[in-house]
Chain A
Amino acid sequence: MKKLVTHQGVTAPLLRTNIDTDAIIPSREMKLVSKKGLGEGLFAGWRYTEAGGRTPNPDFILNKEAYKNTSILLSSKNFGCGSSREHAVWALAEYGIRVIIASSFGAIFYGNCTRNGILPVVLPDEVIVELAAQIEDPQKDKVTVDLAEKVVISVKGEKHPFIISKGCREMLLEGLDQIGVTMRQGADIVNFESLYSKRRSWLY
């Protein structure tokens, strides 16, 4: 998994509540049994003029020249709600998104981000609105995220601390594969199982 320690990038605001994973990647764009080839389908319903088409919709923010190479998204409440499709995160990662700052996330989406090198940051709506307001020229006015220090730094240099679990932070900082980490606890699992299978024998 791609590591993330600090990141500075073009930051695009999508300040709307409840942006769901169907919007992030419509099901019709999930054409292959693969985690790859999904970047083109990112936000397809908004990004292109028609379903299945590839003509860019000039009104959609990520299609604007000023937001070229966007790598940080700002949103609002409940970002990534809805379907569990990890394709939404694979599509964001392939497009080049490294950080998403929102006031809350769909729980499954949050977990999917941390397993794919994308940092989900929870900050209050008013802070996010202010982060967006300070960006005049998106190509120059970049937001910075420092995962080591657990702060978001606005264009004007204000620091906004955020909370992330130790496990998620380490996974992103070091680019760890969680399955590999858990497998080191194999003995704990076997011990638990030997007691549990007696206690709840009907599940075996």
Chain B
Amino acid sequence: MAKTLFDKLWTDHEVAVLEDNVSLLYIDRIFLHERTGSIALESLASDDRVVRNPEKVFCTMDHIVDTHTGRTDETLVPGGKQFIQSTRAASKAAGIKLFDITDPWQGIAHVISPELGIVQPGCTLICPDSHTCSQGALGALAWGVGSSEAEHAMATNTLVVKRPNTMRVNFTGKLPSGLTAKDLILHLISKYGAAGGSGCAIEFAGEVVENLSIEARLTLCNMAVEFSAFTGLIAPDQKTIEYLQGKQYAPTGDKWLEANKYWATLSTDAGAVFDKEITIICDDLSPVVTWGTSPQHACGVTDNVPSIPFTVDANEKASYARAYQYMDLHAEQLIESLSIDAAFIGSCTNSRISDLREAAGILKGRKVAEGVNAICVPGSKEVKRMAEKEGLDKIFIDAGFEWREPGCSMCFFAGGENFGFRKRVISSTNRNFEGRQGPETRSHLASPITVAASAITGKITDPRKFL
């Protein structure tokens, strides 16, 4: 019978079928970070349980670590130092690899795991972080879990998982200039709603996806969770193999060849059936930006803020009304008329070297508008090193951006650094929820080039004006 890529990955890891549609799955890799990993490790230890296979568990400092130059364990997040130090102690006690603050490979989990070849096609990988779905971009089954599930995986190398429905999203046609993977995923979510992929394992396919770089694919899969999906995944291809070759944790020698042979089988068979299938024709799309407080509140950057659609129910209407009020804007207002107080490039969505190169392409020889607080936070030490080697740091700094140390930084407000009360931010991150980036801060999500273009003009701006 013809199988989907997801079916193949699921079956390969099935230790036992527990009931209809619920299986015990084998977990190949576990990633932790100091925000939730610390609690999982401590709780496991206090229950007198051990990490079953410490070589398969990795941990990083990304969520609350400071991102200023010359940083230490100190952080502006209340109690943050305790998270950092207890993660360090718990990682050591459990015997797991920690990418600590001073480690040359430290960075955001979903940036460093692919960068180091920890995630590989065909493997299962979990992390107590919702954006773990990013890593499905390499053809892995990777998904975010809670702390208790992370404990379960560490103690048993398995998880009890309800089999998700399958969906395929085909991006067809040609991606217009000025559009990125970020625009594709925001467009999908705005069209089908933030619950549009509810509980599904979504395979992204079509010629547009095939033509995306691995980094752009990571961006696409990153926001599958904002579509309420179980995860996103993309069939590995020659690009995936070239990307992984020579990475620190990638197989070598005969094992590399053996792995390559298996990875070549990891695609959806012709004729395989998905529970749902969506096709998006990309030829006429515009760059996308969010206007409200859910990733589904998005529209073309040159559009007006949408009115409440006639077709939605009372609950959805309430969400629209609340979003207009919170964002201090009104229906039919021109998006490009909105002035910004801050611009942010970073996060597991858009902080990789290709993101920084594209943004720098717009910023080169230009200046950030007066009064705009502009910050760039590379996703990892390796991204930062590469960028500095290419001189991108100078372009950002000369334009008026701050150039920081790697971490999640101001993607979210944890009681420390933030963009300020009711400030309007254009951001390359993934969530525009109420209060996400600061007290009553108003976040607009967009691609790194839209953020760069907006930083220059001081208003939300179509990046195509600068291409």
Q: Taking beta carbons and an 8 Å cutoff, which residues of A are in contact with B? A: 15-18, 20, 22-23, 26-35, 45, 50-52, 76-78, 81-86, 89, 104, 106-108, 111-112, 115-116, 125, 129, 165-167, 178-179, 182-183, 185-186, 188-189, 192-193, 196, 200-203
**B192-204 interface code vs A (CB 8 A; 1 in, 0 out):** 0111001100000
Which of the residues A15, A35, A52 comes within 8 Å of B39, measured between beta carbons? A35
Q: Report whether A185 and B24 are in contact in the complex, using a CB–CB cutoff of 8 Å.
A: yes
- Provide the bound-state CA to CA distance between A51 and B255, in Å: 53
Known: A178-B148, A182-B158. 19 other contacts (CB 8 A): A16-B319, A18-B194, A22-B433, A28-B415, A35-B39, A50-B439, A51-B439, A81-B195, A84-B36, A104-B228, A108-B144, A108-B145, A125-B315, A185-B15, A188-B15, A193-B157, A196-B13, A200-B123, A201-B255
Known A-B contacts A18-B296, A84-B36, A108-B130; A78 and B440 likewise in contact (beta carbons under 8 Å): no
Report B-chain residues with C-beta under 8 Å of the C-beta of A182.
Answer: 24, 152, 155-156, 158, 160
Report B-chain residues with C-beta under 8 Å of the C-beta of A22.
Answer: 412, 431, 433-436
A-B contact pairs, 24 of them (CB 8 A): A15-B318, A20-B433, A22-B412, A31-B78, A33-B42, A33-B79, A78-B194, A78-B198, A82-B433, A83-B130, A84-B130, A84-B145, A85-B35, A86-B36, A86-B146, A115-B146, A129-B315, A166-B19, A179-B49, A179-B152, A185-B158, A189-B158, A192-B16, A203-B28
The smallest beta-carbon distance between B208 and chain A, in angstroms, is 26
Report A-chain residues with C-beta under 8 Å of the C-beta of B24.
Answer: 182, 185, 188-189
Known A-B contacts A31-B79, A182-B24; A16 and B433 likewise in contact (beta carbons under 8 Å): no
Q: Cβ of B306 < 8 Å from any Cβ of A? A: no
On chain B, the number of residues with a Cβ less than 8 Å from chain A's Cβ atoms is 81
**B21-41 interface code vs A (CB 8 A; 1 in, 0 out):** 110101010000001101100
B129 — nearest CB in chain A belongs to which residue?
Answer: A84
- Provide the bound-state CA to CA distance between A51 and B440, in Å: 8
Q: Report whether B15 and A189 are in contact in the complex, using a CB–CB cutoff of 8 Å.
A: yes
Report B-chain residues with C-beta under 8 Å of the C-beta of A52.
Answer: 415, 439
- Provide the bound-state CA to CA distance between A193 and B156, in Å: 11
Which of the residues A27, A82, A84, A108 comes within 8 Å of B414, measured between beta carbons? A27
Known A-B contacts A22-B433, A202-B255; A17 and B148 likewise in contact (beta carbons under 8 Å): no
Q: Cβ of B10 < 8 Å from any Cβ of A? A: no
Q: Report whether B15 and A111 are in contact in the complex, using a CB–CB cutoff of 8 Å.
A: no
4 nearest A-B residue pairs (beta carbon)? A28-B415, A51-B439, A202-B251, A86-B146
Most A CB contacts (10 A, CB to CB) among B49, B120, B151, B434 go to B434
B25 — nearest CB in chain A belongs to which residue?
Answer: A192
Known A-B contacts A23-B433, A111-B149; A167 and B22 likewise in contact (beta carbons under 8 Å): yes
Report A-chain residues with C-beta under 8 Å of the C-beta of B436.
Answer: 22
Report A-chain residues with C-beta under 8 Å of the C-beta of B259.
Answer: 202
- Provide the bound-state CA to CA distance between A150 and B316, in Å: 28
Report A-chain residues with C-beta under 8 Å of the C-beta of B206.
Answer: none
Q: Cβ of B294 < 8 Å from any Cβ of A? A: yes
The smallest beta-carbon distance between A12 and chain B, in angstroms, is 15
Q: Report whether A112 and B146 are in contact in the complex, using a CB–CB cutoff of 8 Å.
A: yes
Q: Report whether B26 and A51 are in contact in the complex, using a CB–CB cutoff of 8 Å.
A: no
Report B-chain residues with C-beta under 8 Å of the C-beta of A85.
Answer: 35-36, 146
Q: Report whether B16 and A185 are in contact in the complex, using a CB–CB cutoff of 8 Å.
A: yes
Known A-B contacts A28-B415, A108-B144; A82 and B130 likewise in contact (beta carbons under 8 Å): yes
Q: Cβ of B43 < 8 Å from any Cβ of A? A: yes
Report B-chain residues with C-beta under 8 Å of the C-beta of A30.
Answer: 35, 414
Q: Report whether A28 and B78 are in contact in the complex, using a CB–CB cutoff of 8 Å.
A: yes
A51 — nearest CB in chain B belongs to which residue?
Answer: B439
Q: Report whether B146 and A108 are in contact in the complex, using a CB–CB cutoff of 8 Å.
A: yes
Interface residues of B in 94-123 (CB under 8 A from A): 120, 122-123
- Provide the bound-state CA to CA distance between A183 and B199, in Å: 27
The smallest beta-carbon distance between A77 and chain B, in angstroms, is 5
Known A-B contacts A18-B194, A27-B414, A81-B194; A106 and B228 likewise in contact (beta carbons under 8 Å): yes
Q: Report whether A86 and B148 are in contact in the complex, using a CB–CB cutoff of 8 Å.
A: yes
Q: Report whether B318 and A16 are in contact in the complex, using a CB–CB cutoff of 8 Å.
A: yes
Known A-B contacts A33-B39, A33-B83; A116 and B255 likewise in contact (beta carbons under 8 Å): no
